[in-house]
């Protein structure tokens, strides 16, 4: 069998690590995205843990038909019964029951002998099988379990009727080859191993969650438990997107496939990050903002000549439009020339030496340089005037039961423009008021607010992408007042649009 089943536990292991739990509706939104991405099994929650969790699992079971819907339960009759009740409306229900098998868990946590634990495991699997045709059994802390005992538990729980046996590295302690050997040992020593799918569930405490999971696949595991963006207890779980893209990109080594529609990876990752309130680090493999962006001048030059020089997988394969060549002071001339050609400026129409010097000056000042900056640089030279409008005054009233109202005063040179507006929240009201003052309505395509510093007096930074007549512009603003930061970002974007209008005029007059 060369199919690896993807078991997603974002809603169980991932959710239990969040600072606040997700609502039923939020979990359903994530479950739908997982189903669209074609994960094979969705672990929707731990039904006995709370009424909310029970309701989430049963709602997902009723609503999602493309994936197996699984609930977690301890090896306790009551847990298993509640779990069965939560998943039973699913088209394909599964009960996932577990008990710790390592010496340290058995003696300190459970205070049971090995024989007692084995008896409990067998009983739990049989009980679950009476309530559900598809039962998965996990040996918690398998990574630190005595190999003889582990083989015995695996053999007996398969006999008891478990169709999937999960071998978790619960504490993220094992190292690649060692975890691979644990799986290999099970295949060599458990006589009925072929009657079940061997699964793995690796944690990332030493940063090895993904590495250990793929070593297990190399040694025969055919189900991997993972989470979107690697969310999960402590340092998290093996990350779904990494597992899937490793198996796909290195098919030469693994020779296995998954059912995942990889083009849904980026969207799902963003959605999970947004709903869970956990940002993705920019350098995160596969889904980080920089995962496909090439900064070094040498790399950018290579990419333009042949994408494969620095690209092992395409951004399109994970659902991104195209990779981004991040234009900074490290970008070389060839890249700038390429970008300018895309904007319609052929290389014999300008002086590259002069342009490049201006570009570097701007890049040093701004960090990143976008298309509209390049155009402005091309048309109006190095002295880029970005600040037609500036915010002079802002007064916002908002709160529960109050219609958000914003009054702004914006200066345009010596002219003072003042307007007030209501809106759906203080930011919306402020944007409406600024639009009225400047007469320029921008469609906000993307809005993000992040704390630049920690603590309650944190400096908030707002980044915007706006659309004006089909063209996109960036805006940013920062302040200890987040509404003011939002207003500054909008005005910054408005100034860029104004500048672009000026650029267009200059270009037209040159063409005459």
Does an H or E element contain 242, and which?
Answer: helix 240-249
- What is the per-residue burial (b if ≥16 Cβ within 10 Å, else e) of 358-382? ebbebbeebeebbbbbbbbbbbbee
**Least distance CB 233 / Zn ion (angstroms):** 5
- What residues from 395 to 434 belong to the interface with Zn ion (CB under 5 A)? none
**Least distance CB 84 / Zn ion (angstroms):** 22
* Torsion angle, alpha carbons of 506, 508, 511, 512, to 10: -110
Question: Per rule CB under 5 A, is residue 140 in the interface with Zn ion?
Answer: no
Q: Which of 165, 252, 181, 172 is nearest to 216 (CA)?
A: 181
Q: Is 285 helix (H, G, I), strand (E, B) or coil?
A: coil
Residue 25 in tokens = 């509706």
**Least distance CB 157 / Zn ion (angstroms):** 19
**Least distance CB 229 / Zn ion (angstroms):** 15
Measured from the CB atom, is 236 or 460 closer to Zn ion? 236
Measured from the CB atom, is 72 or 244 closer to Zn ion? 72
Measured from the CB atom, is 13 or 241 closer to Zn ion? 13
User: What's the CA gap between 93 and 88, in Å, rounded?
Assistant: 6
- What residues from 81 to 110 belong to the interface with Zn ion (CB under 5 A)? none
- What residues from 266 to 325 belong to the interface with Zn ion (CB under 5 A)? none
**Residue 217 φ/ψ, nearest 5 degrees:** -60, -40
User: What's the CA gap between 357 and 158, in Å, rounded?
Assistant: 70
User: What's the CA gap between 109 and 99, in Å, rounded?
Assistant: 11
Of all residues in this chain, which one has the CB nearest to Zn ion in the complex?
13
Q: Which of 324, 326, 289 is nearest to 446 (CA)?
A: 289
Measured from the CB atom, is 41 or 433 closer to Zn ion? 41
- How many Cβ atoms are within 10 Å of 12's Cβ, its own excluded? 26
Q: Is 346 helix (H, G, I), strand (E, B) or coil?
A: coil
**Least distance CB 188 / Zn ion (angstroms):** 26
Measured from the CB atom, is 13 or 155 closer to Zn ion? 13
DSSP conformational letter for 65: -
Selected range binding Zn ion among 5-13, 183-191, 207-215, 463-471, rule: CB under 5 A: 5-13
Whole-Å CA distances, 157 to 142, 179, 342, 478: 14, 21, 62, 58
Selected range binding Zn ion among 9-17, 179-187, 295-303, 315-323, rule: CB under 5 A: 9-17
Measured from the CB atom, is 240 or 404 closer to Zn ion? 240
Selected range binding Zn ion among 8-16, 138-146, 458-466, 474-482, rule: CB under 5 A: 8-16
Say what angle helices 482-511 and 371-380 make with each other, to 10 degrees.
50
Residue 18 in tokens = 């969040």
Q: In what order do the strands lie in the sheet with 389-399?
A: 389-399, 402-412, 415-423
Furthest-apart CA atoms within the chain: distance in Å: 91
User: What's the CA gap between 209 and 434, in Å, rounded?
Assistant: 49
Q: Is 402 helix (H, G, I), strand (E, B) or coil?
A: strand
β-bridge pairing 389-399 and 402-412: antiparallel
Selected range binding Zn ion among 7-15, 185-193, 252-260, 267-275, rule: CB under 5 A: 7-15
* Torsion angle, alpha carbons of 482, 483, 486, 488, to 10: -100
Q: How many residues bind Zn ion (CB under 5 A)?
A: 1
Does an H or E element contain 116, and which?
Answer: helix 114-131
**Least distance CB 244 / Zn ion (angstroms):** 18
**Least distance CB 19 / Zn ion (angstroms):** 18
List of residues 6+ apart from 270 with CB closer than 8 A = 287
**Least distance CB 168 / Zn ion (angstroms):** 6
Measured from the CB atom, is 9 or 492 closer to Zn ion? 9
**Least distance CB 172 / Zn ion (angstroms):** 9
β-bridge pairing 68-74 and 41-45: parallel
Measured from the CB atom, is 13 or 81 closer to Zn ion? 13
**Least distance CB 139 / Zn ion (angstroms):** 13
Measured from the CB atom, is 150 or 200 closer to Zn ion? 200
Measured from the CB atom, is 151 or 171 closer to Zn ion? 171
- What residues from 10 to 49 belong to the interface with Zn ion (CB under 5 A)? 13
Measured from the CB atom, is 13 or 264 closer to Zn ion? 13
Measured from the CB atom, is 72 or 442 closer to Zn ion? 72
Say what angle helices 24-36 and 51-63 make with each other, to 10 degrees.
40
Measured from the CB atom, is 143 or 319 closer to Zn ion? 143
Q: Which of 126, 120, 111, 113 is nearest to 139 (CA)?
A: 120
**Least distance CB 16 / Zn ion (angstroms):** 9
**Least distance CB 137 / Zn ion (angstroms):** 15
**Least distance CB 232 / Zn ion (angstroms):** 6
Residues of this chain that bind Zn ion (CB under 5 A): 13
């Amino acid at each position: 069998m060369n199919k690896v089943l993807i078991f997603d536990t974002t809603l169980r292991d991932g959710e239990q690590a969040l600072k606040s739990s997700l609502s039923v509706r939020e979990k359903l939104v994530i479950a739908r995205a997982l189903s669209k991405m074609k994960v094979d099994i969705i672990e929707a929650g731990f039904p006995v843990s709370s009424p909310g969790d029970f309701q989430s699992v049963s709602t997902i079971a009723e609503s999602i038909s493309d994936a197996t819907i699984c609930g977690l339960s301890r090896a306790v009759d009551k847990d298993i019964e509640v779990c069965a009740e939560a998943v039973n409306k699913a088209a394909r229900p599964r009960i996932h029951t577990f008990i710790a098998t390592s010496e340290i868990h058995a003696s300190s946590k459970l205070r049971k002998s090995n024989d007692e634990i084995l008896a409990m495991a067998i009983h739990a699997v049989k009980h679950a099988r009476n309530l559900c045709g598809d039962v998965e059994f996990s040996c918690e802390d398998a990574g630190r379990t005595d190999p003889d005992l582990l083989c015995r538990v695996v053999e007996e729980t398969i006999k008891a009727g478990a169709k999937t046996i999960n071998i978790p590295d619960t504490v993220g302690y094992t190292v690649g080859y060692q975890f691979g050997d644990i799986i290999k040992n099970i295949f060599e020593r458990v006589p009925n191993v072929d009657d079940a799918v061997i699964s793995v569930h690796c944690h990332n405490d030493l940063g090895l969650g993904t590495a250990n999971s793929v070593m297990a696949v190399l040694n025969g595991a055919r189900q991997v438990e993972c989470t979107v963006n690697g969310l999960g207890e402590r340092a998290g779980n093996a990350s779904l997107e990494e597992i899937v893209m490793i198996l796909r990109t290195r098919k030469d080594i693994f020779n296995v496939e998954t059912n995942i529609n990889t083009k849904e990876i980026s969207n799902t990752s963003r959605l999970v990050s947004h709903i869970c309130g956990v940002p993705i680090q920019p350098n995160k493999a596969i889904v980080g903002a920089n995962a496909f962006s090439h900064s070094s001048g040498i790399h950018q030059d290579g990419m333009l000549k042949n994408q494969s020089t620095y690209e092992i997988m395409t951004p399109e394969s994970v659902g991104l439009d195209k990779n981004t060549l991040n234009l900074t002071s490290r970008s070389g001339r060839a890249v700038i020339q390429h970008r300018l050609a895309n904007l319609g400026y052929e290389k014999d129409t300008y002086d590259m030496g002069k342009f490049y010097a201006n570009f570097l000056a701007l890049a040093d000042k701004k960090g990143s340089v976008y298309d509209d900056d390049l155009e402005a640089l091309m048309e109006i030279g190095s002295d880029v005037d970005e600040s037609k409008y500036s915010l002079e005054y802002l007064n916002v009233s908002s709160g529960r039961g109050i219609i958000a109202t914003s009054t702004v005063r914006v200066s345009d040179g010596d002219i003072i423009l003042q307007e007030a507006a209501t809106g759906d929240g203080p930011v919306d009201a402020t944007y409406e008021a600024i639009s009225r003052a400047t007469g320029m309505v921008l469609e906000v395509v993307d809005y993000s607010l992040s704390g630049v510093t920690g603590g309650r007096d944190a400096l908030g930074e707002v980044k915007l992408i706006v659309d004006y007549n089909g063209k996109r512009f960036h805006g940013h603003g920062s302040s200890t007042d987040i509404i003011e930061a939002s207003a500054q970002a909008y005005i910054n974007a408005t100034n860029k649009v104004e500048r672009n209008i000026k650029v267009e005029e200059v270009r037209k007059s040159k063409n005459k």
